[in-house]
Chains A and B, each alone.
Chain A
Amino acid sequence: MSSRRSGGSRITEEEINELIGKLQSLLPESRRRSMGRASASKLLKEMCNYIKSLHREVDDLSDRLSALMSTMDRDSPQAEIIRNLLR
């Protein structure tokens, strides 16, 4: 991480605004639009929702991969792909 604060230094308004700006640009366009006028509290809310949705996607993809694996056997083309990728 680029900046590590020492115990006693105060975080400037400018630094916080910069971070908030960066967080805002991380949000996908659709979420940014639904935010309307940006405020710290709205941004945090959107960020939390976004992270939760990403977690759900990982969970969902794990389900799908697990289902895929269950149908795979040693001789299937998928198993071959995995073996090749691991070589």
Chain B
Amino acid sequence: MQPTASFKLAFLRHMLAGIRLAGGVSSAPGMSVLERKWAIKSAADIAMAFARGSRTGWSRALVADLSGQERNRALARSILGREQFERLSRPAHPPECSLLSGSKKILRRSSCRVRSRIRKRPPAPRRATSASLLAKRMVRKRTQVLRRLVPGGKALEDDASLLEETLDYVVFLRAQVDLMQHLTNALLEPSKCRYQY
């Protein structure tokens, strides 16, 4: 899956709406620089997740994370419009994986499994570690880091799903950076603005 022209347009449209709402001096005069920065960053994530849609775990998780705070919910609702915000927050198909409650269920299930796994396994005997054992440990350790970096990564049960989500997420994360860069350039030098959708 690569970012399509429609993704880029959807992202920019919602990003700009977010900037207008929360960024402009005239629209939000009382905002501090930090508040403005946070609002722009949230707008960028909301725009990215919404443009991607509800079919990927990371986009759903991003919306779930962002919706956790009331101030984000209000921003998201204003950027996306009430109808689209409700649609994105609604359970994704299949119906059993509902956004917030579903991911909570998965988290609870996987944490229970982790807990019972820890209880059942006896402590590993200390012995000279072979290279392959060390490699396995490194892979496990780094997989954990990856889970924290990819939205919704902690809720994914198997490593292959994590890798698939990572693949998709990185592609669109790159697009987000690219689009924000172009937006910044366009605002800095409007006469030189040239962007191919």
- Near A by CB (< 8 A), chain B positions 155-197 give 158-161, 163-171, 173-174, 176-177, 180-181, 183-184, 186-188, 190, 193
B131 to chain A, nearest CB (A): 11
Contacts of B142 in A (CB 8 A): 41, 44-45, 48
Q: Is the CB of A20 within 8 A of B163?
A: yes
Q: How far is the CA of A47 from the CA of B37 in the complex (A)?
A: 26
Number of A-B contacts defined by CB within 8 Å: 142
Q: Is the CB of B180 within 8 A of A65?
A: yes
Report the stretch among B68-76, B80-88, B145-153 that lies at the interface: B145-153
Contacts of A65 in B (CB 8 A): 19, 23, 40, 180, 183-184, 187
A positions within 8 Å CB-CB of B: 1, 3, 5, 11, 15-16, 19-20, 22-23, 26, 39-41, 44-45, 47-48, 50-52, 54-55, 57-59, 61-74, 77-79, 81-82, 85-86
Q: Is the CB of A61 within 8 A of B177?
A: yes
Q: How far is the CA of A15 from the CA of B161 in the complex (A)?
A: 11
* Neighbour of B164 across the interface among A19, A57, A64, CB < 8 A: A19
- Near A by CB (< 8 A), chain B positions 1-57 give 12-13, 16-17, 19-20, 23-26, 33, 36-41, 44, 55-57
B positions within 8 Å CB-CB of A: 12-13, 16-17, 19-20, 23-26, 33, 36-41, 44, 55-57, 135, 138-139, 142-143, 145-146, 149-150, 158-161, 163-171, 173-174, 176-177, 180-181, 183-184, 186-188, 190, 193
Q: Is the CB of A19 within 8 A of B167?
A: yes
Q: How far is the CA of A49 from the CA of B193 in the complex (A)?
A: 31
Nearest to A78 among chain B residues (CB) is B187
Smallest CB-CB A-B distances: 6 pairs: A44-B142, A69-B23, A41-B138, A66-B37, A62-B41, A61-B180
Q: Could you list 27 A-B pairs, sorted by A, with CB under 8 Å? A: A11-B158, A11-B159, A19-B160, A19-B167, A20-B163, A23-B166, A40-B139, A44-B139, A45-B138, A47-B146, A47-B170, A48-B142, A51-B166, A54-B170, A58-B177, A58-B180, A61-B177, A62-B38, A62-B41, A66-B36, A68-B188, A69-B19, A69-B25, A71-B25, A79-B26, A81-B186, A82-B19
